[in-house]
């Protein structure tokens, strides 16, 4: 996972991290009405004013992430329960291949342990190549080139992690985050790192796991062959394994959007799916199987706040995305936090809406992050692109749930993604006759926009919103509801 949130700091791709333990009127700014002089919230409160006389229908949203605290007091009412499964009897009651999958599934667990950290795909690729070409004296020129290129990519990943550890060690030693400007990102100041010692440990684990033979570790813990896509039935039901802060936060954003309607969001249920490590790159196999699990269990929206630069089993993921399209499921995905323009094909993050080099699906929304002030309308960390990113949504200082009945601010396209997923779920609940593609078009065509020029991430110049995404604006739930009413009259 390329750190689509701000839980910890990595020099090259990190965002501002803000922690909070108290609530204020600004905690839920992302739900408020767009105000050109202050911030562009998603107008969720106002959307519900137009739905007071309508009856919602039940809807299931899947959150594919690094785990979820399903017992959090503000999440528990919204957690999905498998009606065909009996809890804790060690049996696969519904015959789907997953025993005791009462509230979802963990594709990164085994009989006795769970995977928390993973290596980058670059590392896994390099490790497989050196195993294949163990005797370097017998390599052809072309084979040497393959090995050399793989090593170069592998070393770049390690240099990134070494920089992260150096920065984390500095912060841990000084017990404060310095004001450090990298491109358009500013660390420190108003923000605070939650646990400085945790941050250093996190960076150390990143480096450790990037050197480790991760395929062997996977086999020993989970018990499957990570390259064998025919095997779909593995894992366990430990939904809160490791540090599930990220997944708990994203699930909480979706639940929070549902909770503020007059029905208290009783129409929403969330399937928790663990397929993403705390850090490192998720496995294509796990992502694909999580998507299929969500579809097979009735999800109509899937929220995915993760991504990577290499996808060795891309065809398997593409088949799962196509499967979701065939079942009218809307996929919502974060564009990433590297302050990069993604329109060039070689800069694409995975997964994405391209099934191959020429074919795409339209049940997919790629989300960039907008900021919480009129001066910083596009988040300084967000990836963007008028061809590759669909829409912007609030992603800075988003207040939501974390494990242990606690709450925290986080920033990232990780947070913007469930804002879109939550609003899409609301639309699909109140207007169930709309298809996934129609909901996508509805959200894209009814945004908050402005003619003002705003800062382009990691540059010294400005552009209008059309430069950052196809919709040329920020998601607006109220406009989408009004458009849906008009469309269906």
Does any domain span residue 392?
yes
Element housing 256 (H / E): helix 245-259
- pLDDT of residue 21 exceeding 70, the answer is no
According to the per-residue pLDDT averaged within each range, which of 43-47, 146-150, 190-194 is highest? 43-47
Residue span of the structural domain in which 339 resides: 29-114+224-487
Residue range 155-182, pLDDT digits in tens: 666 666 666 666 566 655 655 544 333 3
Average the pLDDT over each of 174-178, 235-239, 371-375, 392-396 and give the range with the smallest value: 174-178
Average the pLDDT over each of 174-188, 226-240, 307-321, 460-474 and give the range with the smallest value: 174-188
Does any domain span residue 79?
yes
**How far is Cα 103 from Cα 79, in angstroms, rounded to an integer?**
7
**How far is Cα 246 from Cα 400, in angstroms, rounded to an integer?**
10
Mean pLDDT across 269-283: 95
pLDDT band at 9; cut points 50, 70, 90: very low
C-alpha closest to that of 238 among 134, 125, 422, 113: 113
List the structure tokens of 221.
């813990």
pLDDT band at 336; cut points 50, 70, 90: very high
**How far is Cα 138 from Cα 55, in angstroms, rounded to an integer?**
70
What's the chain's length in residues?
489
**Contact 365/330 with Cβ under 8 angstroms?**
yes
Mean pLDDT across 426-437: 98
**Contact 376/38 with Cβ under 8 angstroms?**
no
The confidence score (pLDDT) of residue 24 equals: 44
DSSP result, 11-59 = TTT-------SS--TTTTGGGSPB-TTS-B---HHHHHHTTTTS----E
Higher pLDDT, 382 or 141: 382
Does any domain span residue 172?
no
Does any domain span residue 386?
yes
Mean pLDDT across 68-84: 97
**Contact 281/121 with Cβ under 8 angstroms?**
yes
Higher pLDDT, 293 or 9: 293
Does any domain span residue 243?
yes
- Label residues 51-77 b or e (16+ Cβ within 10 Å = b): beeeebeebbbbbbbbbbbbebebbee
Does any domain span residue 402?
yes
Mean pLDDT across 338-351: 84
**Contact 444/473 with Cβ under 8 angstroms?**
no
Q: CATH number, domain at 330? A: 3.40.50.200
pLDDT band at 393; cut points 50, 70, 90: very high
As a whole-number percent, the residues of the chain with pLDDT over 70 amount to 79
The confidence score (pLDDT) of residue 357 equals: 86
**Is it true that the peptide bond before 287 is cis, omega within 30 degrees of 0?**
no
| pTM as predicted | 0.88
- pLDDT of residue 401 exceeding 70, the answer is yes
Does any domain span residue 421?
yes
Mean pLDDT across 266-272: 98
Mean pLDDT across 65-70: 98
> Structural domain tally of the chain?
1
The confidence score (pLDDT) of residue 38 equals: 79
Higher pLDDT, 236 or 125: 236
Average the pLDDT over each of 6-20, 241-255, 344-358 and give the range with the smallest value: 6-20
pLDDT band at 154; cut points 50, 70, 90: low
As a whole-number percent, the residues of the chain with pLDDT over 90 amount to 68
- pLDDT of residue 433 exceeding 70, the answer is yes
Element housing 204 (H / E): helix 196-211
Average the pLDDT over each of 162-176, 219-233, 346-360 and give the range with the smallest value: 162-176
The confidence score (pLDDT) of residue 207 equals: 63
Mean pLDDT of the chain: 85
Higher pLDDT, 410 or 1: 410
The confidence score (pLDDT) of residue 185 equals: 31
**How far is Cα 199 from Cα 245, in angstroms, rounded to an integer?**
14
The confidence score (pLDDT) of residue 281 equals: 92
- Label residues 3-25 b or e (16+ Cβ within 10 Å = b): bbbbbbbbbbbbbbbbbbeeeee
Mean pLDDT across 282-293: 98
- pLDDT of residue 223 exceeding 50, the answer is yes
**Contact 302/61 with Cβ under 8 angstroms?**
yes
- pLDDT of residue 253 exceeding 90, the answer is yes
Does any domain span residue 479?
yes
């Amino acid at each position: 996972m390329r750190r689509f949130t701000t839980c910890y700091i990595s020099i090259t791709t990190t965002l501002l991290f803000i922690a909070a333990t108290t609530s204020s009127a600004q905690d839920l700014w992302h739900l408020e009405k767009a105000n050109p002089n202050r911030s562009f919230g998603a107008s969720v409160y106002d959307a519900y004013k137009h739905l007071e006389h309508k009856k919602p229908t039940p809807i299931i949203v899947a959150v594919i992430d690094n785990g979820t605290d399903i017992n959090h007091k503000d999440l528990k009412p919204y957690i999905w329960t498998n009606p065909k499964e009996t809890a804790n009897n060690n049996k696969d009651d519904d015959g789907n291949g997953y025993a005791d999958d009462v509230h979802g599934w963990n594709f990164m667990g085994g009989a006795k342990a769970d995977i928390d950290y993973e290596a980058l795909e670059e590392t896994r690729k390099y490790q497989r190549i050196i195993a294949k070409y163990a005797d370097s004296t017998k390599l052809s020129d072309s084979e040497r080139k393959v090995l050399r290129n793989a090593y170069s990519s592998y070393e770049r990943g390690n240099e990134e992690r070494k920089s992260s550890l150096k920065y984390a060690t500095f912060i841990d030693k000084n017990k404060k985050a310095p004001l450090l400007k990298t491109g358009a990102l500013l660390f420190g100041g108003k923000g605070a790192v939650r646990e400085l010692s945790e941050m250093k440990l996190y960076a150390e684990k990143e480096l450790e796991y990037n050197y480790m033979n991760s395929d062997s570790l996977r086999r020993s813990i989970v018990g499957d062959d990570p390259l064998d896509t025919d095997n779909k039935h593995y894992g366990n039901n430990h939904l809160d394994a490791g540090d599930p802060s990220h997944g708990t936060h994203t699930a909480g954003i979706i639940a929070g959007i549902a909770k503020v309607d007059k029905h208290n969001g009783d129409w929403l249920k969330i399937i928790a799916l663990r397929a993403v490590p705390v850090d490192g790159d998720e496995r294509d196999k796990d992502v694909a199987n999580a998507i299929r699990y969500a579809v097979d269990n009735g999800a109509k929206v899937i929220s995915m706040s993760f991504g990577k630069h290499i996808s060795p089993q891309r065809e398997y993921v593409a088949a799962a995305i196509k499967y979701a399209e065939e079942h009218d499921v809307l996929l919502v995905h974060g564009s990433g936090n590297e302050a990069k323009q993604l329109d060039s094909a070689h800069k694409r993050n995975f997964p994405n809406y391209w099934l191959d080099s020429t074919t795409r699906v339209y049940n997919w929304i790629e989300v960039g992050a907008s900021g919480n002030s009129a001066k910083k309308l596009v988040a300084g960390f967000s990836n963007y692109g008028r061809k590759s990113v669909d829409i912007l949504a609030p992603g800075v200082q988003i207040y939501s749930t974390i494990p242990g009945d606690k709450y925290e601010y986080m920033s990232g396209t990780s947070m913007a993604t469930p804002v879109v997923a939550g609003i899409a779920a609301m639309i699909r609940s109140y207007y169930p006759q709309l298809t996934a593609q129609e909901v996508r078009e509805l959200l894209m065509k009814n945004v908050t926009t402005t003619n003002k020029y705003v800062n382009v991430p990691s540059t010294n110049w400005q552009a209008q919103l059309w430069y950052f995404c196809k919709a040329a604006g920020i998601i607006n739930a109220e406009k989408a509801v009004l458009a849906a009413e008009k469309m269906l009259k």
